[in-house]
Amino acid sequence: MKRSVLIAGTHSGVGKTTVAMGVMAALTKRNMKVQPYKVGPDYIDPTHHTAICGRSSRNLDTFMMGVDGVRRTVDNSYKDADISVIEGVMGLYDGMNSTEIASSAHVAKSLGIPVILVVNVHGMSRSAAAIVKGFTEFDKDVNIAGVILNRVGSPRHAQMIKDVLPDIPVVGTVPRNNDIKVPSRHLGLHMASEQDYDVGKLAEFIEENVDIDEILSLASEPKKPEVEDDRCVGNMSEVTIGVARDDAFCFYYEEMFDMFRKCGAKIEFFSPLDGDIPEVDGMYFGGGYPELNIAELEKSRTTKKLKDFSADGMPIYGECGGLQYLCSSYEIEDVVYKMADLFPAETILTKRLQALGYTEGVAKGKFINGPVRGHEFHYSLTECDSDSRLIYEMSRGKGIMNGKDGITEHNSLASYMHAHPGSFPVDSFVEQCRKYGRK
């Protein structure tokens, strides 16, 4: 039987990421094959999961993927694993607006798996019992099977809380440890490639303070999908898509690569920072940190040649950081840097958060036509020329301007929306790349 468990918190900042990563590390140290997942539209935490487990972490989101999409992703990605560990998002019940949609609780219910609740008990004792009681009774369809008490001050402190908790197993009492933490910046944690924490020490720390055997005994088999994804069942002739992946472009859903391959595409990763120009039939620029690598990008051979590829009709798709890069310029602290100039628009880095949240829109374009769901999170503004074409009509989210997103030119498209393959027409994009390759 395949086993799965979701590690959630009462709210953001309780330590669920550290605990989840530690549980993954402890299980991996036992030579178990651990398939990691992350609830929500998070690109950064999954890089840490992947580094720890040696398996690509995937996102689970009931808004962007639907219930069956979540089940399909789990069913397709951990067939040869011993256990899957899912890290939650925000607080257990925090979903979109005042609903359960996109919450950790909704993912757990969709999969029919147990939840281990992480509670930060710093500065409280008996009150912790009230919190746990409230969480267990709020939605009886959510199976909170165990509790981990985090930031415990002493064994006595832990025992005081255990004595008054409702009838629920305490599977861990984790003491305060300021030496184990992952540094962060404006878009979240540092990427795994920048890690300066010791995974071995993290595994030992969690193994000492969490009953890993009990977590294994509580884990259960997730539900199977009811409907399969029938996209990409036609033409499978050869096509190659270049995916920019380096320190500047590093925000991607692994499921997007899965869908590219399912549609018959070979993926060629390349680095615009290194000036690589791959032999491909289309290109994809994800989000990331172009602002931290802006001088190198301005000088890059890739930057200087992309406009010619676009004018020739090559399909080129960019998201957020990719959008910023594909504009004509990027202004940072009053310095204007020349970018790839695929679109008649300029981007300005701001000190204030400009947009954060789920997005939804209807697109009418060459390789994208219909509803698309995703997420936006950026500290920049993009100002378009008056003759720019924006093809997303947004019903949710800010987009580029005036309720619109998705700037297009030739066969190129870029948006602030990070689209998810659950709704993004990957099959259509791949087919456009295939047609271009036949020219």
The span from the CA of 276 to the CA of 198, in Å, is 33
Out of 53, 250, 263, 320, the active site residue is: 320
Encoding tokens for residue 344?
């008649």
- Helices 254-262 and 426-437: crossing angle, nearest 10°? 50
Which conformational region is residue 54 in: left (phi greater than 0), alpha (psi within -120 to 50 degrees), or beta? left
Task: List the one residue out of 226, 216, 227, 225 whose CA is nearest residue 1.
Answer: 216
HEC per residue, 87-143: EEEEECCCCCCCCCCCCHHHHHHHHCCCEEEEEECCCCCCHHHHHHHHHHHHCCCCC
The span from the CA of 221 to the CA of 258, in Å, is 23
Q: Return all residues near 191 (Cβ < 8 A) that are at least 6 apart.
A: 44, 47, 247, 250
Task: List the one residue out of 110, 115, 113, 5 whose CA is nearest residue 67.
Answer: 110
Encoding tokens for residue 99?
């609903």
DSSP structural state of residue 401: B
Please, how many CA atoms are within 13 Å of residue 244, restricted to the half-sphere of its CB? 33
Amino acid at 221: E
The span from the CA of 359 to the CA of 393, in Å, is 11
Task: List the one residue out of 322, 321, 326, 329 whose CA is nearest residue 347.
Answer: 329
56 with 49: CB under 8 angstroms?
no
CB under 8 Å, gap of 24 or more: what pairs does 25-30 form?
Answer: 25/52, 25/199, 25/200, 25/202, 25/203, 25/206, 26/203, 26/206, 26/207, 26/210, 26/212, 27/82, 27/83, 27/85, 27/212, 28/52, 28/53, 28/54, 28/203, 29/200, 29/203, 29/207, 30/212
The verdict on whether 320 is a catalytic residue reads: yes
Active site residues: 320
